[in-house]
Amino acid sequence: MNLLTPDPGLLFWMVLSFLIVFFLLAKFGFPVIVNAINKRKEFIEASLVSAKEANERLASIQEEGEKLLAEAKAQQKEIISAAMQEKQRILQAAQDEARTSAQQIVDDATARITAEKEKALREVRSEVATLAIDIAEKVLSEKMSNSAEQKKAIERMIEKL
Amino acid sequence: MKKILYIFFLTLLTCVSLPVRAAEKEGGVNVSELIFEHLGDSYEWHIAKGCVIPLPCILIEKGGVTTFMSNQIEHGQECKGYHIAAEGQYAGKIVNAQGERPFDISITKNVLELFIVCAILLSVFLGLAHWYKKHGYKKAPGGFVGAMEVVVGFVENDVIKSSIGHGYQKFLNYLLTVFFFILTCNLLGLIPIFPGGANLTGNIAVPLTLAVSAFIAINFFAPKGYYKSIFWPDVPLFLKAFPLMPTIEFVGVFTKPFSLTIRLFANILAGHVVILSLSSLVFITAQAGAGINSSMTVVGVAFSIFMNCLELLVAFIQAYVFTMLTATFIGIAHSE
């Protein structure tokens, strides 16, 4: 039994069947399989890339949202503080106005009161004068009937002058 | 795990009782004849005693084709002028009445095994291709298709692509066919009963054909630079004027596929020889007494189990190495 001498019959069948198998597999077998595997590989890679992109986009959207929110908050703060200032200012102005108008009223009242007082005083004074004159007239008319008295009175008056 | 060990030892135990009966039956066994019979080819497929599958014999001589079934020439019988030579140059082969050998393309055990391998390859990969055509590439395969996809992907990327580099697509189908052809042959050879058991890659004709195909793939598709590097390599003039380097390079062209042949052939053949020898320990020690025989049986069976596991690995490694080296040679030829 010679193991190293190839048997022509087996060699013949081997060449024939290997060629047939190779032809069939190379034509209908492996290209389909390899293509499918490679396509799936590409598909998976593309999917991974797009997933990464989507993730990034999501992250950026989130970031943007946060930025917007922060901005909105800052604006709100600003608006509120402006409103507060405005309120303060309006209040201040109202208070000032009220104070001035009150002062005005008080001043007016004081002036009028003073004027009235003056007027009243003047009237009282003139009344008192008139009354004094009247009284003096009456006193005089009653007391002057006595000449001695008159004399005394005149003297007293002279003395006083 | 416990269960497996239990079964393992039970099997070994039955092995102990077997040789006693074997020793009783026969006076002794010619082990080398037994091993060579298993390694070689035969006209019928012997499964067990009394269970033989007859195979067709096809003989061509002087333009005439003669066919008959192998059971018609059993035990030295003559059929249509042909018989199996008992001795001489063509011992064990069919010869005609004059003792000459016709062109013998009988469907022998190895040829039938070859057809089984082809059938398996075609059904597996055409089935796979059908699956992909049906489901498209977006569906992830499971089970067998998924497993095969992993192997195909591995061979494509880690063996072929990395060895050839740019332009590997041209050789992809060929190398994948070679890989799975060798792998299937090797694995089927390890199965001891009918669908397997023939020593196909351990028969010189098969690795030889594969190596010739590798030779064609390496040399006939190479660019011009490759031939220049062989016959007029880029070395100092005195090395190529007196054609030392060209001679070495030219011899290398043939030794590369030759080494592929011998590597595959010798590895598989050696594996078969070792497993058969270990199994034969039972019969060799049959006359040495029941004690030695039983203990050697345990050792023999344990070792042949180990060798079978090792051969599973070798079956893959040899397919891998053959494909990778062919791819590397192609890559070298294309890099010039």
> How does DSSP assign B145-171, residue by residue?
HHHHHHHHHHIIIIIIIHHH-TTTHHH
Predicted confidence band of residue B24 (pLDDT cuts 50, 70, 90) = very low
Sign of the alpha-carbon torsion through B139, B143, B145, B147: positive
Say if A132 falls within a structural domain: no
pLDDT at residue A129 in the model = 85
Q: Is B185 exposed, middle or buried (0-12, 13-18, 19+ CB in 10 A)?
A: buried
- Mean pLDDT comparison of A126-130, B118-122, B294-298, highest-scoring range: B118-122
Verify whether the Cβ–Cβ distance B149 to A37 is below 8 Å. yes
Q: Report how far residue B246's alpha carbon sits from residue B238's, in angstroms, rounded to the nearest whole number.
A: 12
pLDDT at residue B336 in the model = 59
Predicted confidence band of residue B19 (pLDDT cuts 50, 70, 90) = very low
- Rounded to the nearest angstrom, the minimum Cα separation between A17 and chain B is 7
B121-160 pLDDT, tens digit each = 999 999 888 888 888 877 878 888 889 888 998 998 888 9
pLDDT at residue B67 in the model = 83
* pLDDT of B23 higher than 50: no
Say if A21 falls within a structural domain: yes
Verify whether the Cβ–Cβ distance A10 to B137 is below 8 Å. no
* pLDDT of B25 higher than 60: no
Residue B143 near residue B94, CB atoms below 8 Å: no
Verify whether the Cβ–Cβ distance B125 to A30 is below 8 Å. yes
**A5: closest chain B residue by CA:** B204
Residue B88 near residue B99, CB atoms below 8 Å: yes
Mean pLDDT of A19-24: 93
Neighbour tally for B214: CB within 10 Å: 25
Tell me the percentage of chain A whose pLDDT exceeds 70.
96
Taking contacts as CB-CB distances below 8 angstroms, the residues of chain B near A16 are none
Q: Report how far residue B293's alpha carbon sits from residue B213's, in angstroms, rounded to the nearest whole number.
A: 47
Q: Report how far residue A32's alpha carbon sits from residue A34's, in angstroms, rounded to the nearest whole number.
A: 6
A interface with B, Cβ–Cβ below 8 Å: 1, 3-15, 17-18, 20-22, 24-26, 28-37, 39-40, 43
Q: Which residues pair with B57 in a beta bridge?
A: B68
Instruction: Determine the 3-state secondary structure of B236 from DSSP.
Output: coil
**B37: closest chain A residue by CA:** A1
Mean pLDDT of B71-97: 77
CB-based burial, A77-97: b 16+ in 10 Å, e otherwise: eeeeeeeeeeeeeeeeeeeee
Q: Could you give the number of structural domains in chain A?
A: 1
Task: Please report the DSSP string for B267-294 in residue order.
Answer: HHHHHHHHHHHHHHHHHHGGGG-HHHHH
Pick among B59, B118, B210, B258 to test the A interface (most A CBs inside 10 A): B118
Which of B110, B153, B204 is nearest residue A3 as measured by Cβ atoms? B204
CB-based burial, A27-64: b 16+ in 10 Å, e otherwise: eebbbbbbebbeebeeeeeeeeeeeeeeeeeeeeeeee
CB < 8 Å from A in window 29-68 of B: 36, 39-41
Mean pLDDT of A18-47: 90
- Rounded to the nearest angstrom, the minimum Cα separation between A49 and chain B is 16
Say if A27 falls within a structural domain: yes
Average pLDDT, chain B: 83
Residue A31: domain span:
11-122
Say if A43 falls within a structural domain: yes
pLDDT at residue A137 in the model = 80
Please report how the helices A8-24 and B169-190 are oriented relative to each other, as an axis angle in degrees rounded to 10.
Answer: 130
pLDDT at residue A62 in the model = 95
Q: Which residues pair with B45 in a beta bridge?
A: B53
Average pLDDT, chain A: 88
- Best CA proximity match to B264, nearest among B330, B192, B323: B323
* pLDDT of B22 higher than 80: no
Verify whether the Cβ–Cβ distance B126 to A20 is below 8 Å. no
Residue with the larger pLDDT of the pair B236 and A118:
A118
Rounded CA Rg of chain A = 64
**ipTM for the complex shown:** 0.84
**B205: closest chain A residue by CA:** A6
Give the lowest-confidence range in A46-60, A140-154, B9-23, B144-158.
Answer: B9-23
Q: Report how far residue A11's alpha carbon sits from residue A17's, in angstroms, rounded to the nearest whole number.
A: 10
Answer whether B203 touches A (CB < 8 Å): yes
pLDDT at residue B10 in the model = 66
pLDDT at residue B101 in the model = 80
Residue with the larger pLDDT of the pair A125 and A47:
A47
Taking contacts as CB-CB distances below 8 angstroms, the residues of chain B near A17 are 114-115, 118
Which of B132, B153, B269 is nearest residue A3 as measured by Cβ atoms? B269
DSSP-derived letter for residue B79 is B
- CA-to-CA dists, residue A14 to B212, B268, B321, angstroms: 12, 17, 21
Q: Report how far residue B52's alpha carbon sits from residue B85's, in angstroms, rounded to the nearest whole number.
A: 20
Neighbour tally for A76: CB within 10 Å: 10
Say if A148 falls within a structural domain: no
Q: Report how far residue B282's alpha carbon sits from residue B28's, in angstroms, rounded to the nearest whole number.
A: 11
A68-117 pLDDT, tens digit each = 999 999 999 999 999 999 999 999 999 999 999 999 999 999 999 999 88
pLDDT at residue B33 in the model = 78
- The two structure tokens encoding residue B110: 């190895």
* pLDDT of B20 higher than 50: no
pLDDT at residue B199 in the model = 82
